[in-house]
Chains A and B, each alone.
Chain A
C-alpha cells in the first residue's frame, strides 16, 4: 500500500456542483494533514490544514477519519476557478518533518 493515495481523476463537474475527494494514508501514527492546491505549471499552495475535529473555510470543508485512515476535502458550489490539482499531504510521527505528498486529484469545473 502506498503511503498516501489519491484518485488522480480527473473529476469533471459543472459549476455549482459539490465535489469530494478522499485521500488514504498508510501510517496510522501520522500526526498532521494538509490539502494543497496546485494550478497548472505553478507551485503548490497550502489550501487548508486538516484538524481532528474537522474544519471549514468558506466553501471548503476538510475532515479527518483516523479509524479508517483517510482525509477528505469537500468543495461546495464549485467555481470555474476551483479547477486545479488537489494534493493531499501527510506528516509522519516521531518528530519527522518530511511530509509525504499524494499524487494529486485533478478537478475540472466546466460552465
Chain B
C-alpha cells in the first residue's frame, strides 16, 4: 500500500459524459500531481499542485479540469473527452522541501477508456 489511493480504478465513458477522478494521499505530503500515461508511452505531467495552488499546467486541453480542495485530495474533472484521451491516469504526491528529496509516491491509477 503506497498511501496514495485513486478511484475509480477503471472507467469507461462516452464522449459526452462528465466524470471525475479522485486521488487521496495519506502521507502528509504537500504537493500532488496528475500524470497521463498512454500505451507504451512515457509519463506526461498534466498538473501540479503545491499547497493547494496550481503551479504547473503543461498545456493540457480544457476538457481536463483539476481541483485541489486541500493538501490530501486531488480531483480531475473530465468532460467531452476524445478517444485519444484513453490512458492510465496516475496521481502522485511528494513532500516539497526545496530541491532535495521530493520522492514521489504514486497511486495505482485510473484506467480510462473513452468510447
Contacts and interface: CB of A to CB of B under 8 A. Distances in A.
B99 A43 contact: no
Contact of B102 (A32, A45, A101, A103): A32
B79 to A, nearest CB: 25
Interface in A48-90: 49, 87, 89
Interface in A13-49: 31-32, 34, 41-46, 49
A46 B105 contact: yes
Contacts of B98: 95, 97
Nearest to A48: B103
A101 B42 contact: yes
B16 to A, nearest CB: 27
B42 A92 contact: no
Contacts of B108: 42-43
Given A43-B90, A43-B109, A101 B101 contact: no
Contact of B42 (A41, A98, A104): A104
A97 to B, nearest CB: 5
A102 B42 contact: yes
A12 interface: no
B112 interface: no
A103 B106 contact: no
Interface in B78-102: 88, 90, 94, 96-102
A92 B100 CA distance: 9
Nearest to B97: A97
Contact of A93 (B50, B90, B96, B99): B99
Contact of B103 (A34, A87, A101): A34
A97 B109 contact: no
Contacts of B65: none
Contacts of B101: 32, 49
Interface of A: 31-32, 34, 41-46, 49, 87, 89, 91-99, 101-104
6 contacts: A43-B2, A44-B106, A46-B104, A91-B99, A97-B94, A99-B104
Interface of B: 2, 31, 42-43, 45, 48, 50, 55-56, 88, 90, 94, 96-109, 111
